[in-house]
């Protein structure tokens, strides 16, 4: 068996597999729409070579290093930067060897499938990665990275990416996006408005961030109206750098719809620093509704990513800072939490709110029933750990019967692991085709309809939902 | 592929499919027991023709219009009556065309399968419904509806219905059931006692309802003993109109077992109108236990349908009223909530309590373990959005190992979409046979036992559990 | 079809089935590691014959009698001892006949598969059990039990058990383990430290238990330091009787990490008897962290079994006492609950904490993400009702993609039904091989890797995780 089997992820039953293969073949070459992710725009503005194999595949990929840490390796051994920006292990060959020595840990994980895809399709290596091939891999990848064909813009094109959205803080200058726009390169890299650092009172440095938010917009951000105006101004600025969406990562799906006066009073309390956890929660919830109302004006799609406990390990947060693989989901309720927002704007046909979840229990119980009736609400694809063959299967099986395909929005790769983008879309396309083939072979979906749906899931829905 | 494939919903593996087909063939012609649903009994007392195709298939079916609304059509455009009983769109052909134009939205949903079944098996149309066939469909169905063979009683018989239970408010006169009983028609249409409007203090018009409850029973329904006596009287009245069950739609599964004195004090508080949300919750919970105790006397089966947030959109509730497709489930816990009732009566072998849920997380964790030990408790079939191939599969996979087949009660169609009844039972029978075939092909169930179980799931269990 | 099909539980697709069969054949004969269970060590110290078929298969197996009770039989009819140690039905033939008459209730349950396996593989009976074969079964099993080959030690060997861990209270004398150690029998039966009765303030007789705990250790167990020292002493004693693990059955997964002074104050309050439900919860949670810290010293593996509401029926608890099949799971959250313990010791590579759950919703949302990053945390196998083909499938499908195979710990039978041990391990091995074959046939796992993983899941991981 070659490392990448041409029929991988297709159902084993021969008849169903043939249907899946035909569906996949009809959409496999479609360009990639990546409307939500975390690549660094400077890669494309500067187009500098990637530094080394470890910094390409290991240190930026929390899926990779979290698994290694779970078996006793340390972030320091793996060269993951500390909170003070120092790095303990600086020899990329050592890091790569640790990774290779432990590659069996990734058996049957999506990481293995993504990595193998990139190794084979981007770097042309079809031997398995293990201790004995570690050096061969390292040398070969290092050699490639020195070539122009492996610079960011070339890999963007090689991966057949039509559009890539990155995500920037509300305080970002967007200089790299401006540089890309001003360059002669035709790749389409757009930003996304992510205002958590000036919306979440519990964010590190929130008070300072508000100050900076005022400075960057010229608004009085200690004043409710000025604060809202600052958001509106930044949304315009982000739109001018390509943004078609905002994104909001909140601990819960709580929304609120306070009266203007209540909202103003709450904001004053938040600014004073003398607020409770409940105040912060309601303020975040109110801001989702405010953002939805701004979306009705400026057309930005509103994305909500709730339910992750960020930085679960205080020890790692102190030593290594945010986003080091220690984000754990918690139960998140939606039916009650989203009601204030949906009561305010849920029936607006011109608004698009895309909701994601890490709580699969809510797929069929709450999210599909809501997306299946509120015109403004759409379901984001399976998120984070569920961006996987089994995760995608459960998502489709739990939501399609209640909200159909057309209240979903295609795939998001949501990654900062650049070389995994084409791999992730390939897994999603194969997984969706496997699901569609299963529907066809059990006579729940006409095969011609299945071809239309396959196209929509791979390409059409992402373009239309994100207004691209 | 014909629109309805003869092997639809059977597993793709040829060996397993053959087992499923054989199981299905042995039970496909069994008459339908429909022990829980929402058809209008006046259809069968008056036997008037159905008005038009839109009023048969679109306006009464919240599965249908909710999906259309989710993509931006309005209830007004679809001719769904407003709260003031006016209807915006009165041209059924226009409504039908909107429905047909958007029929692709239903791909891979159970609605599509139910509708296609009715179109083909009841109306003899085997072309796909879409914009180009919309008028053909309309004219053909309209033509049929004018014929005697398409009047309600004829369709009842055509659908091979042995028994149909409807659901009426505690305040209903049951005149249509009386008329059916007095008619020369032999179809068995029975009622079900649904006292939510006089049990739930949060129900619209609860106080007036209590008055009417007193008037209709001659009891002092402001007095706890009189109130209980009124229920007992109405239960007798409903039994005389065929009822074998009561039904209770509560926001949660909360039950209570107060002392008589506490219950009386709580009732007094409820009657005063000066009560908290907790009081209302406990009162509803206490009434479930009271109803269970009455069931021990009069033999009615107690059905509990908890966990739906009714009328989730305030906007739609104001414009169009109750039950317009905006009911969303919420997390519902059972293990703690049902404990008071089960402690009071759960060990009674002569009591049958049937519990439904929209919270699939509770199937394996709470409901199957409880139904697998308490003699009084049985699991209702997958409810509402889970009355579907995937929903039925998950239900069986999550419950059978812990409570077996014999603590479940067969299928409920739970519908007011009359022409979908045979379609829904067909989907349920096929889905159960698919599951049983899977057990047979993995040697977890003897094939002869599977035939017995198939019969029980399709027919026997509903008759015995509902005491029909 | 013979009662036990050689390909039972393998996928129906022929290609996948062949892979599953090959995987299974390579591990089917491996000896059984049973690192967590509830067998009675006196069986092996005394090696007395089992009393009769009913006392072997019916009265000790809550899976069996709970299903019979769910259909109206009583614990008294089934000869299950009352709280006062009397037994209503004392004729084992009558009990056996009730069991046989109702054996159809177990269709498609794991109990049926386990029982049929024991009947066929241990007792050589391959006819189905039912009313007509009841007496034949009884006489044959009774005849066998009188032979030396059916005494406990012989059955231990016949079942190919390499190691069996039992579970004893902190107050146990471990005399049977000592006797086994001193005997000339080479079977390895070890104990496990289970201190719930002296850790859980809500345990019956907690205060008396604390006294006994002091008496047995010579420590002042009314004093926090003395109480901790008593645990340390007992842990040493248990280790001397083979223990490699402790086990903790708590109502929730709550953990705490109080300061020494806070912990001492809380303990004083608990000892006074004047404490709240919250105090008890935090105390249990603090003790998990204390135990984890002791594990860092003495190397015992820490097992946490949270989330069961014990003795759900007050009526049965009063009449028949603890552990009579009326334990029902409830929703259990982990991400927040385990954080204090994980913050204290979760990054310790030399600690092993094994977490179990009855709440499958947490597999993918909380448990796999945590086990996939914290070096100290491993996932226990599917527990209790989920120790079944479907339960094992859902466990693997929900966890593997996020935490891989190597953060899981193999299988636990967790049983007191001795003759089911080999049956349960066989079901687990077959179910895991079915899952692995599915991964191979969809090209997510190399077949050679699958063989390695099959070995690890069946044997290697249990040995290493439990330090055996």
What is the distance between the alpha carbons of residues C131 and B180, in angstroms, rounded to a whole number? 45
pLDDT at position B459? 98
SS (H, E, C) chain B: CCCCCCCCCCCCCHHHHHHHHHHHHHHCCCCEEECCCCCCHHHHHHCCCCCCHHHHHCCCCHHHHHHHHHCCCCCCCCCCCCCCCCCCCCCHHHHHHHHHHCHHHHCCCHHHHHHHHHHHHHCCCCCCCCHHHHHHHHHHHHHHHCCHHHCHHHHHHHCCEEEEECCEECCCCCHHHHHHHHCCCCCCEECCEECHHHHCCCCCCHHHHHHHHHHHHCCCCCCHHHHHHHHHHHHHHHHHCCCCEEEEEECCCCCCCCCHHHHHHHHHHHHHCCCCHHHHHHHHHHHHHHHHHHHHHHCCEEEEEECEECCCCHHHHHHHCCCCCCCEECCCCCCCCCHHHHHHHCCCCCCCEEECCCCCHHHHHHHHHHHCCCCCEEECCCCHHHCCHHHHHHHHHHHHHHHCCCCECCCCCCCCCHHHHHHHHHHHHHHHHHHHHHHHHCCCCCHHHHHHHHHHHHHHHHHHHCCC
- Angle among Cα B176, B182, B187 to the nearest 5 degrees reads 75
Q: Rounded to whole angstroms, what are the CA distances from A454 to A133, A160, A459, B107, B243?
A: 38, 18, 8, 12, 49
| C-chain residues near A383 (CB < 8 A) | none
Contact C115, C129 (CB under 8 A): yes
- Around Cβ A31, how many Cβ atoms within 10 Å? 13
CA distance A350 to chain B (A): 9
Q: Is the pLDDT of residue B1 over 90?
A: no
Give me A357's structure tokens: 């979840």
Give me C170's structure tokens: 């902190």
Sequence-separated (6 or more) residues with CB below 8 Å from residue A283? A199, A201, A256, A266, A267, A270, A275
DSSP state of A50: P
- Around Cβ A148, how many Cβ atoms within 10 Å? 9
The CATH number fitting domain B14-49+151-465, selected from 3.20.20.140, 3.40.1360.10, 3.30.565.10, 2.70.160.11:
3.20.20.140
Q: Which H/E stretch holds residue A148?
A: none
Specify the 3-state DSSP secondary structure of C86.
coil
| C-chain residues near B449 (CB < 8 A) | 104, 107
Reported ipTM exceeds the 0.85 cut: yes
Contact B164, B189 (CB under 8 A): yes
* β partners of residue C246: C193, C302
Give residue B457's Cα distance to chain centre.
Answer: 17
Give residue C338's Cα distance to chain centre.
Answer: 21
Q: Which of B309, B315, B325 sits opposite A347 (nearest CB)?
A: B315
The domain spans of chain C are 14-49+159-465, 50-150
Q: Give contacts of B 223-242 with A, CB under 8 A.
A: none
What is the distance between the alpha carbons of residues C152 and A122, in angstroms, rounded to a whole number? 60
- Around Cβ C84, how many Cβ atoms within 10 Å? 9
Q: Is the pLDDT of residue C7 over 80?
A: yes
Q: Report pLDDT digits (tens) over C75-100.
A: 999 999 999 999 999 999 999 999 99
| C-chain residues near B373 (CB < 8 A) | 66-67, 69-70, 313, 325-326
Provide mean pLDDT across the span C413-422: 96
* Helix extents (H) in C183-276: 196-199, 206-217, 224-240, 260-272
* β partners of residue C248: C304
> Is residue A365 less than 8 Å (CB to CB) from chain B?
yes
| B-chain residues near C8 (CB < 8 A) | 442-444
pLDDT at position A437? 98
Q: Is the pLDDT of residue C2 over 70?
A: no
DSSP state of C164: E
CATH architecture of C50-150: Orthogonal Bundle (1.10)
Sequence-separated (6 or more) residues with CB below 8 Å from residue C329? B335, B365, B366, B369, C307, C308, C309, C358, C359, C384, C385
Mean residue pLDDT of chain C comes to 97
Contact C356, C380 (CB under 8 A): yes
Q: Which H/E stretch holds residue A309?
A: strand A308-309
| C-chain residues near A1 (CB < 8 A) | 443, 446-447
Give me B167's structure tokens: 């659901």
Residues C14-49+159-465: name the CATH superfamily: Metal-dependent hydrolases (3.20.20.140)
Q: Report pLDDT digits (tens) over C213-251.
A: 999 999 999 999 999 999 999 999 999 999 999 999 999
pLDDT at position A63? 96
pLDDT at position C268? 98
What is the distance between the alpha carbons of residues C112 and C106, in angstroms, rounded to a whole number? 5
* β partners of residue B302: B246, B353
Burial B446-459 (b: 16+ CB within 10 A, else e): bbebbbebbebbbb
C3 confidence band (pLDDT: 50, 70, 90): confident
* β partners of residue A309: A328
Instruction: For chain C, list the contacting chains (3+ Cβ pairs, <8 Å).
Output: A, B
Nearest to A252 by CA among A278, A291, A290: A278
Q: Is the pLDDT of residue C359 over 80?
A: yes
pLDDT at position B180? 98
pLDDT at position C1? 40
B102 confidence band (pLDDT: 50, 70, 90): very high
Closest alpha carbon within chain B to A445? B108
Q: Which of A72, A330, A361 sits opposite C375 (nearest CB)?
A: A72
Q: Give contacts of C 290-349 with A, CB under 8 A.
A: 331, 333, 335-336, 339, 342-343, 346-347, 349
Q: Helices A14-27 and A421-441, interaxial angle, to 10°?
A: 130
Nearest to C415 by CA among C185, C165, C187, C245: C165
User: What residue ranges of chain A have pLDDT lower than 50?
Assistant: 1-2
- DSSP conformation letters of C31-76: PEEE-S----HHHHHH-PPP--HHHHHTTT-HHHHHHHHHTT--TT
> Is residue A40 less than 8 Å (CB to CB) from chain C?
no
Side-chain half-sphere exposure of B382, counting CA atoms within 13 A? 28
Contact B8, A443 (CB under 8 A): yes
What is the distance between the alpha carbons of residues B104 and A446, in angstroms, rounded to a whole number? 11
Q: Report pLDDT digits (tens) over A428-441.
A: 999 999 999 999 99
B111 confidence band (pLDDT: 50, 70, 90): very high
pLDDT at position B3? 74
Provide mean pLDDT across the span C31-37: 98
Side-chain half-sphere exposure of C242, counting CA atoms within 13 A? 25
Q: What proportion of chain C, given as a percentage, has pLDDT over 90?
A: 99
Contact B339, B285 (CB under 8 A): no
Mutate to test the interface with C, among A4, A385, A433 (most CBs of C within 10 A): A385
CA distance A180 to chain B (A): 36
Q: Which of A373, A443, A444 sits opposite B70 (nearest CB)?
A: A373
Nearest to B210 by CA among B199, A369, B202: B199
What is the distance between the alpha carbons of residues A379 and A408, in angstroms, rounded to a whole number? 5
pLDDT at position A1? 40
* Domain spanning A14-49+152-465: CATH 3.40.50.300: no
Provide mean pLDDT across the span C37-64: 97
Interface contacts A/C by beta carbons within 8 Å: 131
| C-chain residues near A309 (CB < 8 A) | 335-336, 339
What is the distance between the alpha carbons of residues A270 and A390, in angstroms, rounded to a whole number? 42
Q: Which residue in the block uniquely carries the two structure tokens 């008028």?
A: B135
Sequence-separated (6 or more) residues with CB below 8 Å from residue A330? A251, A307, A308, A309, A359, C333, C335, C336, C365, C366
Q: Report pLDDT digits (tens) over B301-327.
A: 999 999 999 999 999 999 999 999 999
Q: Which H/E stretch holds residue A331?
A: none
Side-chain half-sphere exposure of B246, counting CA atoms within 13 A? 29
What is the distance between the alpha carbons of residues A250 and A253, in angstroms, rounded to a whole number? 7
Q: Is the pLDDT of residue B2 over 60?
A: no
Provide mean pLDDT across the span C333-349: 97
Specify the 3-state DSSP secondary structure of A256.
coil
Q: Which residue in the block uniquely carries the two structure tokens 């099959």?
A: C454
Q: Give contacts of B 424-463 with A, CB under 8 A.
A: none
| A-chain residues near C403 (CB < 8 A) | 67, 70
């Amino acid at each position: 068996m070659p490392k990448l089997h041409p029929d991988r992820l297709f159902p084993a039953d021969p008849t169903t597999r043939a249907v899946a293969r035909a569906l996949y073949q009809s959409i496999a070459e479609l360009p990639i729409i990546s409307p939500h992710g975390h690549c660094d725009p400077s890669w494309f503005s500067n187009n500098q070579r990637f530094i080394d194999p470890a910094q390409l595949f290991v240190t930026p990929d929390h899926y990779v290093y979290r698994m290694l840490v779970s078996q006793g390796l340390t972030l320091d051994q793996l060269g993951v930067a500390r909170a003070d920006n120092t790095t303990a292990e600086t020899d990329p060959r050592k890091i790569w060897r640790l990774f290779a020595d432990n590659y069996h840990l990734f058996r049957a994980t999506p990481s293995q499938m993504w990595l193998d895809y990139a190794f084979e399709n981007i770097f042309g290596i079809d031997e398995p990665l293990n201790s004995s091939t570690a050096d061969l891999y390292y040398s070969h990848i290092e050699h490639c990275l020195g070539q122009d064909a492996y610079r960011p813009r070339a890999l963007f094109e090689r991966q057949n990416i039509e559009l890539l959205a990155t995500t920037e803080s509300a305080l970002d200058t967007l200089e790299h996006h401006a540089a890309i726009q001003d360059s002669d390169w035709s790749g389409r890299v757009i930003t996304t408005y992510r205002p958590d650092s000036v919306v979440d009172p519990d964010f590190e440095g929130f008070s300072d961030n508000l100050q900076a938010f005022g400075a960057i917009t010229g608004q009085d951000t200690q004043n409710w109206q000025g604060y809202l105006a600052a958001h509106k101004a930044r949304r315009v600025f982000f739109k001018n750098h390509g943004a078609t969406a905002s994104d909001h990562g909140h601990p819960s799906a709580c929304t609120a719809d306070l009266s203007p006066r209540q909202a103003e009073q709450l904001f004053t309390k938040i600014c004073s620093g003398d607020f409770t956890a409940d105040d912060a929660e309601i303020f975040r919830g109110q801001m989702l509704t405010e953002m939805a109302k701004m979306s009705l004006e400026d057309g930005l799609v509103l994305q909500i990513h709730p339910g992750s406990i960020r930085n679960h390990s205080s020890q790692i947060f102190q030593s290594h800072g945010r986003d080091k693989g220690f984000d754990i989901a918690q139960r998140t309720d939606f039916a009650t939490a989203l009601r204030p927002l949906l009561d305010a704007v849920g029936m607006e046909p011109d608004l698009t709110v895309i909701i994601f979840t890490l709580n699969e229990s809510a797929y069929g119980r709450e999210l599909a029933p809501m997306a299946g009736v509120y015109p403004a609400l759409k379901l984001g694809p399976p998120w984070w750990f569920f961006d996987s063959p089994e995760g995608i299967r459960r998502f489709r099986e739990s939501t399609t019967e209640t909200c159909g395909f057309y209240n979903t929005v295609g795939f998001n790769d949501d990654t900062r692991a650049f070389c995994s983008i084409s791999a992730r879309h390939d897994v999603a396309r194969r997984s969706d085709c496997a699901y569609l083939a299963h529907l066809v072979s059990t006579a729940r979906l006409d095969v011609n309809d299945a071809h239309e749906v396959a196209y929509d899931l791979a390409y059409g829905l992402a373009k239309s939902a994100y207004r691209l």
